[in-house]
A and B are shown apart, each in its own frame.
Chain A
């Protein structure tokens, strides 16, 4: 591996200071957190810097952490990949639980378009500057954001099946965070 993770970390900390933090190696991927206001700058730097060259945006997805403090209740997770040195990184932007907003990445990668729409569709995270931020997999008339933890997977009124007998609670949120 030509590009060492320490180099990535040093370059990012030099350039962005405390806007990037929490560097940790998770299995084969270096992950860190980015301040949500600097997301676009960090991604541009990662993409355009001559040493870093993260030329490919692999994936965007959202995560909901309802038990975290207010400012960290949503996260958007970006995976990027440098094809020249074959290095992957992952970074997260934590967003406010009441008003989740982050800049769009569509100005850097065309492929971000639908992935951000999907994240919006399921989590209600607003991507500022997105050209067409509307629902994609769910119907337009839908009002809730189904991947949020408080959204029940099944109709709570169902009586024909009782998950408690299988060691599960019907409440998703509590089930996942024991």
Chain B
């Protein structure tokens, strides 16, 4: 049996023994996690340490595995959206919209322009919320709590916008096949406009606090670097890959939901270290703001959902008074909708990278197979490679700048 199949402690015990016999020095095994506050989620790293330096490590994941793919095989399409919320819960609307777009691709539904623009707005707000968390928490992990407290109220404002649109805050379960459950209220637009007016100043202050801060730069530059080749081989996507210098962005490569209508840049870094990841995310927030501004300015009038009575729930008033609406309501809720036999893969640019939905349908009410390509799961395997030879405190900063969300990691 290969050593790698054993629990890492066993493997390390051997190495510790060898080192002791060699020069009398004492290596140690350290459990980082599963519930350490600095891991920001429940996953464990078993590290072999030489003093403060990391010699080797192995990640143990799966602590919050909830069998989403299995559950999805037993649920009609509407009931799968709440599962997607709970993957990357820092940017749940992106997951929701990605899932609706996957279904629309499979069912061949054309979505009105207004819906596409509204989706862009909500997805970019979600991306900002995601990056706010990642970057401010990176500040916390390197010892700067101020920025975190300062920007976090703006995540709260984004959640208030979600609340205005769909009623929920964290796990949004937003939208329907073909559009939204209701048109956005004037209050929602008012909140978005307020956010757009106030937030740039706040984000500028936040950047001023950290970007050229000597201590922060010393703590992050050359910490947890990864080369572009290696990052690509490891399946990196999103900001973490762009920080290594590869300008791969699904919004540009395969525009969905009318992203081709907007002007924005794809910020890239150079060395793929923690500092570059921080800077790329900072810059992406500005680009997201630019996209939201353009979408608000160009927002077309029109319906807030596609005209697809087979899949889109009829208005509630009609359900109570109108026989046909009641029938449709019942059929949709029970999942008795026409579904073609097909296979579709749809990627969206999630907060952390390429979030893909691979759906196989067999014509029944539930997916035959639904696989989520979860960017966190795929790039987190590089973590041990990135921290080898670094100090323990650098591992914490690296982990936090990778923005590993346990819910997405484990599905």
Contacts and interface: CB of A to CB of B under 8 A. Distances in A.
Interface stretch (A14-22, A25-33, A36-44, A93-101): A25-33
A122 B106 CA distance: 25
Interface string A98-140: 0000000000011101110010001000000001111011111
Contacts of A151: 70
Interface stretch (B86-94, B214-222, B282-290, B369-377): B369-377
Nearest to A88: B345
Interface residues of A, number: 48
Contacts of B236: 111
A23 interface: no
Given A83-B248, A146-B67, A175-B74, A137 B345 contact: no
A167 interface: yes
Interface stretch (B150-158, B312-320, B358-366, B393-401): B358-366
B356 interface: yes
Given A61-B371, A86-B254, A114-B381, A31 B343 contact: yes
Given A79-B345, A109-B233, A177 B373 contact: no
Contacts of B381: 110-111, 113-114
Contact of A79 (B69, B356, B360, B410): B356
A164 interface: no
Q: Is the interface of B mostly helix, strand, loop or mixed?
A: mixed
B406 to A, nearest CB: 12
A136 B358 contact: no
A13 interface: no
B73 A134 contact: no
Contacts of A64: 369
Interface in B207-256: 230, 232-236, 248, 253-254
B65 interface: yes
A26 B105 CA distance: 11
Closest 3 CB pairs of A and B: A111-B235, A137-B62, A61-B371
Interface of A: 26-29, 31, 55-59, 61, 63-64, 77, 79, 83, 86, 88, 90, 109-111, 113-115, 118, 122, 131-134, 136-140, 146-147, 151, 153, 166-168, 172, 175-178
